[in-house]
Copies of this chain bind each other. A is one copy, B any other.
Amino acid sequence: MTRRKIAIIGLGKIAQDQHLPVVDKNPAFELVAVTSQRGITHRGLPTFKTPAEMYKAIPDIDAVAICTPPDVRHAIAIEALDAGKDVLLEKPTAATLAEAADIEAHAQRRGRVIFATWHSQYNPAVEEARSILAGAGVKSLKISWREDVRKWHPGQDWVWEPGGFGVFDPGINALSIFVRILPVTPFVKSAELTYPANRQTPIGVQIVFSSTDPDGPALAADFDWREQGDEKWHIEMETKSGHKLRLFRGGASLSVDGNVTVEQPSEEYERIYERFAELLDNRQSDFDITPLRLVGDAMMIGKRLTTDAFDW
């Protein structure tokens, strides 16, 4: 097995919680450097302020994982591809759909592997739900993705700024599962976006979907940041044959007709890096922007409602 030299760019919370420890223990990769604007270090590895300095100092880096905020990902991805690196991107890929499309086109031009990750897709329960729906068809599906923003984004004002996505930030995880398990293509038919009076991104979103299924299954989503107590991240489905499926714990567990059939510890990032190694071995890319496109469509045609001001 080729051991790939990899670097991680952007050492925020998701890099520290997931990417660094997961890459450290995956034998397919050798973590050789990190880039951190704030100068964060890891295991005494070389740390650089910018990717350009890193590529110059360590020319034989094979691949990079980009874990920065979305607004700078496009420029960093293009720079990495131009430097001849294969690229893994955290979700949600880029700040806009045009930037995401340009990253994909540029990777093709450069002949590099590009991998847009959606971590919530990497759960055995998600694969099992996908397999059941592929066989039995879907009669109805309801996403409920409700959490307390004060618990999950305490004091992070950027989630409320333009481009910060608001409750779509967790909601896009649900949408990434949705597009993975659904045996048909969904379309946003209508949406209601509820904005706090003093904020620029929605705190609550309701979406009704149509699809390519002529039987017109009932498909809906409810994202809410006003949930009190424990988060409710689940998707309830009924198959055309009448079975009731429930994905819960963010996609880590599945029950069928009330019986839990899959219940595994969440190893999303372990699976992501296994998949990346496989893509690199096969020189294949995996670039799916459909979850981000559903967000864009919902924001393009959604009805805007205003609710109470939100303060931390």
Q: Is A99 an interface residue (CB 8 A)?
A: yes
Bound complex: CA A251 to CA B88 (Å):
41
Chain B residues, CB < 8 A from A296: 97, 293, 296-297, 299-300
Any B CB within 8 A of the CB of A102: yes
Q: How far is the CA of A212 from the CA of B74 in the complex (A)?
A: 10
Question: Which of these, B162, B297, B304, contacts A301 with CB under 8 Å?
Answer: B162
CB of B195 within 8 A of CB of A297, answer: no
* Residues 276-297 of A contacting B (Cβ, < 8 Å): 290, 293-297
How far does the alpha carbon of A96 sit from the alpha carbon of B186 in the complex, in Å?
11
Contact call A99/B187, Cβ cutoff below 8 A: yes
Are B300 and A300 interface neighbours, CB within 8 A? yes
Q: Does A101 contact B (CB under 8 A)?
A: yes
Q: Is A293 a contact of B102 with CB atoms below 8 Å?
A: no
Specify which chain B residues have a CB less than 8 angstroms from the CB of A186 in the assembled complex.
Answer: 98
Give chain A interface residues in 133-160, CB to chain B under 8 Å: none
Closest B residue, CB atoms, query A302: B162
Closest to A295 in B: B300
With a 10 A CB-CB cut-off, give which of A296, A302, A303 has the most chain B CB atoms: A296
Asked if A39 CB lies within 8 Å of chain B CBs, one says no
Interface residues in A, total, Cβ within 8 A: 32
The chain B residue sitting closest to A190, CB to CB, is B162
Q: A74-B187, A185-B102, A212-B102 are in contact. Are A96 and B297 (CB under 8 A)?
A: yes
Docked pose: A195 CA to B303 CA in angstroms: 12
| Separation of A163 and B162 alpha carbons in the complex (Å) | 20
Complex Cα gap A74–B300 (Å): 16
Contact mask A249-292 → B, CB, 8 Å, 1/0? Answer: 00000000000000000000000000000000000000000100
Within 8 Å of chain B (Cβ to Cβ): is A200? yes
Q: How far is the CB of A257 from chain B (nearest CB, A)?
A: 32
**A177 close to chain B: CB less than 8 A:** no
Given contacts A162-B301, A297-B296, contact A98 B190 (CB under 8 A): no
23 contacts between A and B (CB under 8 A): A74-B187, A78-B212, A96-B297, A97-B97, A97-B293, A97-B300, A98-B185, A98-B187, A98-B290, A98-B294, A102-B185, A162-B190, A162-B191, A162-B302, A162-B304, A163-B300, A296-B296, A296-B297, A296-B299, A296-B300, A299-B299, A299-B300, A300-B300
